[in-house]
Structure 1
């Protein structure tokens, strides 16, 4: 079965210059857990909600509740560039692979999502999350 049947192609991505604050808002506003980091259409990394867990507290406290030193520290954390916290060694597959190979990669590397790359252009063309696979499996029952 082709990856086209399960992968998300309406991608939400971030540039490497995006801040952690922007990435957290993108994840929350878009209701996603994995945010590919892209430069000129090419995947250079990925951040997940787990990667950004430690940065949520300053954002949740809305910074106003901190004294000046705390506010400065919270802003410094939230202004960290995504490029500085992303996983740069990304498990990915090309768009000619099967759903089974994506599942094998997820299991082997213990990841919840796998970006899909066009092998000719090397551009990011989609992402497959465990939710996408479960949704597809459910539709087959």
Structure 2
């Protein structure tokens, strides 16, 4: 399966000039954990919920039993200016292409603990692949995967029928087709989201 078949698109992005609070609201509204940062149509970074939350909460004096007297009225000259996304984002971003193999990217994400990878087609960001996307792919039921595999290999025509069984995302194709048709059927089956592996059992005509 390729990244373009599992990624989320269109993409929710944010500019580096947005404030941290604005970015937090976007994450909350869209129920996501990270945002690609785009400036002038170009990917310049990524900001995660951890980046945004860092430093946003002050200690509550009640927790230390030492009440502090807060100044009344408007904020004084010492009040810090609102932080912006460009101040807290990660600038070195791991990216993928739509034609990248999902298995390869999933291994990278698990190894490096990256939560979200922007997908670029040239300079344009066309999607994101997150851990949630990977879980959604794996959560697809075997019956649905079987239907999709049957639909995919139907491209071979009625002259090369296959029986299809699926167990935990593992697909087995059984049929009397020749070697070229079996290779094509295997490739087509592997394009179906949720397929972990494909095996072929030739059946004598």
TM bin (shorter chain): 0.7 to 0.9
Question: Which residue of the partner structure matches residue 81 of structure 1?
Answer: 84
**Shift in Å at residue 45 of structure 1?**
0.3
Inter-partner Cα distance in structure 2 for 1:139 and 1:9 = 19
Name 1:61's counterpart in structure 2.
Answer: none
- Matched with 1:136 is 137
Instruction: Report the counterpart of residue 106 of structure 1 in structure 2.
Output: 109
Aligned residue pair count: 128
Structure 1 outlier segments of 4+, above 6 Å? none
| Cross-structure match for 1:57 | 57
The offset of 1:56, in angstroms, is 4.0
Does the alignment pair 1:32 with 2:32?
yes
Q: TM-score, normalised by structure 1?
A: 0.81
Matches within 5 A, 1:6-45: 6-45=6-45
More helix by share: 1
Structure 1 residue 54, shift from structure 2 partner: 2.2
Q: Distance in 1 between matches of 2:46 and 2:87?
A: 11
Counterparts of 1:102 and 1:116, CA distance in 2: 11
CA contact (8 A) 2:4 2:99 kept: no
- Unmatched segments (≥5 aa) in structure 2: 59-69, 143-205
Structure-1 separation of matches of 2:141 and 2:4: 15
Give me the CA root mean square deviation. Answer: 2.0
Q: Quick check: 1:115 aligned with 2:118?
A: yes
Q: Which has the larger radius of gyration?
A: 2
What's 1:126 paired with? 127
Q: Which has the higher contact order (CA 8 A, sep 6+)?
A: 1
> Where in structure 1 are there 5+ consecutive unaligned residues?
59-65
Q: Does 1:90 align with 2:97?
A: no
The change in CA–CA distance for 1:52 and 1:4 in structure 2 (over 3 A counts) is: same
Question: CA 1:56–1:10 in 2, change beyond 3 Å: closer, same or farther?
Answer: farther
Please report the TM-score for the alignment, with normalisation by the length of structure 2.
0.57
Residue deviations 1:27-60, cap 9 Å, x none? 11111101110112221100001111224437xx
Shift of 1:116: 0.6
Secondary structure at the aligned position of 2:54 is classed as: helix
How many angstroms does 1:22 deviate by? 0.8
Residue 116 of structure 2 contacts residue 128 of structure 2 at CA under 8 Å; is this kept in 1?
yes
> Are 2:73 and 1:72 aligned?
no
